[in-house]
Chains A and B, each alone.
Chain A
Amino acid sequence: MGRVDHAEASSKFIEAKDHADFHDKRLWDLRKKRDVVSEAIPEWEQLRSLASAIKEHTLTHLGDYLEAFEKKATANGMVVHWARDAAEHNQIVLDILESHQATILVKSKSMLTDECEMRPFLENRGIEIVETDLGERIQQLDDEPPSHIVVPAVHKLRGDVAKVFARTIGTDPANSDIPYLAESQRRHTRPYYLKAQAAMTGANFAIAETGSFVVCTNEGNADLGVNLPPLHIASIGIEKLLPKIEHLGVFVRMLSRSALGSPITQITSHFRAPRPGAEMHVVLVDNGRSERLGMEDFWYSLKCIRCGACMNTCPVYRRSGGLSYGSTYSGPIGVIIDPTFNLRKYSSLPFASTLNGSCTSVCPVKINIHEQIYKWRQIIAERHQLPMVKKEAMRAAGKILSSPRLYRAAVEAAAAGIERLPRFMVYNPFNAWGRQREVPAAPASTFRQWYVKNRGGGR
């Protein structure tokens, strides 16, 4: 597997200026909406502390809660499966579908199934999968992974969607009216709910006390799916557990407020048992989570409820697009999760951050995201996974910054340099700061020169 080059991929994203500008604006708008609704709740900070503590408690007792969930869910009439990795997850889902002669699967959005790369696996074995979430469907039809965990096609503009739909579901290529595009998807998708033999969802929360799980959606697609065909399969990461129903109050109040700035999703569904005559299967998936639980600095990332607030606020994510991270999980949360899957492949991601800490301050479960990013950088540097340019630049910077004499000489030379150097010396591939921006004009004197002149003394 090749390494993801985040900087290189981002430069392609930035080239499409209209797209990049809109992307930045749209995500910042979500961040502002989040601020408005969270500030309207006086106990917001208390809810964050509670959510963090409930998650930490659950993760430190995860074995017991998983067994309690399994016992209850089984008693309720669900079938519980355990998958150690993506391959086993995909095989379990295929086996369930084949034993029901199911060939059409209506599926609501699940990052876990994307993580497991389930769709190509099942499609290669004759299963037709219809992603029913609008954004996820756009991405499926365009043969592209989602670029954001909550709004999968946020990097596309209406004209892009019009092209994809014209090519795949027969809409008018000249019509990029958004209500028309959404209505077309509604009409295209609805018949599938009636003819599919199986439905699939992920889960936002799983409750040990009752053996139930919760799915939060807006479009009605998940509930249309699970209430028509007689078979419902839910893939659930083992970190989704919560002890009791009463804890849902804390998390449901914060999830959609953090994600989209709405007080709750349009539909919040609770599944405790299959309806009479139907089957409900739950696949509990590990895929690296139990290993991450043992990583002293990084197990906190398992608290994540996948709201995407850290992505919306991140200046690097907003200006580089989710696809540039080369993983299901992008933005700050991806930066700290992805290296646990493959350190070498994702070694550039912890550098896709300004370490401004904004991600940490909006996180509803108080994950110390920016601190984890810094820790990953240390690990990557220690294991010699730094790219050559960054390593050489840092080595030179380290030498200069540790010597006052060298530092002064460098600052004076740089100021002179910016004025006098030809453009190609400043704006070249070795100076990352010279890309996509003009280096500001140097002041007439350095701070030290100014200080010596105006305040006297000096050494």
Chain B
Amino acid sequence: MSSRELILGRVRRNQPPWRELPSVPGFGRAPGDPLAAFGAALARMGGRMATAPAGESLDAFIRTVCPQARVVCSAVPEVAGTRAIASVAHPAELEDVDVGVVRAVFGVAETGSVWLSEREFVVNALGFLPQHLVVLLDPQAIVANLHDAYRDPGFHVARYSVFMTGPSATADIEGVLIRGAQGVRTLTVIPVAPAANEAVIQRRTS
């Protein structure tokens, strides 16, 4: 007998009597100011929110957010950076990147998380191998909590998707918190609507 048959047979023989699946309510409590709630939650997780002054280009603003950056690799049309993600053939080529720039599909006010999939990263390692990450987020695209977040149809189509909540972190030695464990050292969210706003709003409300 194959292990598959053996395991399934034993599981079915041993399953306790039927128990019902409860339905999960939404626990919806939309915050009055979703962006402020998002920013506060993000700050608790070690991330920061930064708004570009009117008239300043995003490229220039990212230079002020990450002043040491030499290599900026952008996966968004709004930021040119110094390297286009389209030119990256293998994820290891991102090793020398100082700042990765991506656009989140949506944010979660409860936790300060942003949701990104392979479509936004283009090369998934862009979220982890650079030293710093800048995430553009449409202030209109913020859901209240994780229950709402998991209703996004993206979970049924994305091969790979993540909630990123602040930079990588560890407290494995004596509980001392280190922001910037092995992934990105900082994570900055810039609230800015995409150039072509319609498509995103439609997606969020459909």
Interface residues of A (CB under 8 A from B): 22, 26, 29-30, 43, 50, 53-54, 56-63, 66-67, 76, 82-84, 88, 132-135, 138, 151-154, 156-158, 161, 178-179, 181-183, 185-186, 189-190, 193-194, 210, 212, 218-221, 223-224, 227-228, 238, 243, 245-250, 252-253, 260, 262-275, 284, 286, 290-291, 293-294, 296, 299
Contact = CB atoms under 8 A, between A and B. Distances in A.
Given A63-B8, A223-B128, A286-B7, A54 B21 contact: yes
B4 A178 contact: no
Given A189-B182, A227-B128, A293-B16, A274 B159 contact: yes
Contacts of B81: none
B124 A227 contact: yes
Interface in B85-116: 91-92, 95, 110-113
A70 to B, nearest CB: 8
B7 A84 contact: yes
Interface of B: 2-4, 6-8, 10-22, 24, 27, 41, 44-46, 91-92, 95, 110-113, 118, 124-125, 127-129, 145-147, 149-151, 155-156, 158-176, 178, 180-184
Contacts of B6: 84
A29 B175 contact: yes
B18 A219 contact: no
Contacts, number: 246
Contacts of B145: 249, 253
Q: Which of A88, A132, A253, A260 has the most CB of B within 10 A?
A: A253
A219 B7 contact: no
Given A219-B170, A266-B169, A210 B155 contact: yes
B182 A178 contact: no
Contact of B165 (A132, A224, A228, A264): A264
A201 to B, nearest CB: 12
Contacts of B13: 294
Contacts of B20: 53, 57
Given A54-B24, A185-B182, 5 more contacts: A26-B174, A220-B183, A249-B150, A275-B159, A294-B13
Contact of A245 (B16, B150, B170): B150
Which 4 A-B pairs rank lowest in CB-CB distance, beginning with the nearest?
Answer: A220-B183, A294-B14, A220-B168, A135-B172
B159 A218 contact: no
14 contacts: A59-B16, A60-B19, A67-B8, A178-B178, A210-B155, A224-B183, A227-B129, A228-B91, A263-B41, A264-B165, A272-B158, A272-B159, A293-B16, A296-B16
A114 B171 CA distance: 21
Contacts of A135: 170, 172-173
Nearest to B174: A158
B149 to A, nearest CB: 7
Contact of A243 (B21, B163, B180): B21
A246 B3 CA distance: 30
A134 B172 contact: yes
Contact of A270 (B8, B147, B158): B158
B100 to A, nearest CB: 12
Given A82-B2, A84-B3, A227-B128, A220 B22 contact: no
Contact of A266 (B149, B150, B167, B176): B167
A270 B181 contact: no
A256 B80 CA distance: 37
A212 B150 CA distance: 13
Contacts of A228: 91-92, 125, 129
B19 to A, nearest CB: 5
A189 B181 CA distance: 11
Nearest to B157: A272
A245 B176 CA distance: 34
B170 A63 contact: no
B159 A223 contact: no
Contacts of A266: 45-46, 164-169, 183
A61 B169 CA distance: 37
A52 B177 CA distance: 31
Contacts of B180: 186
A186 B181 contact: yes
A263 B43 CA distance: 12
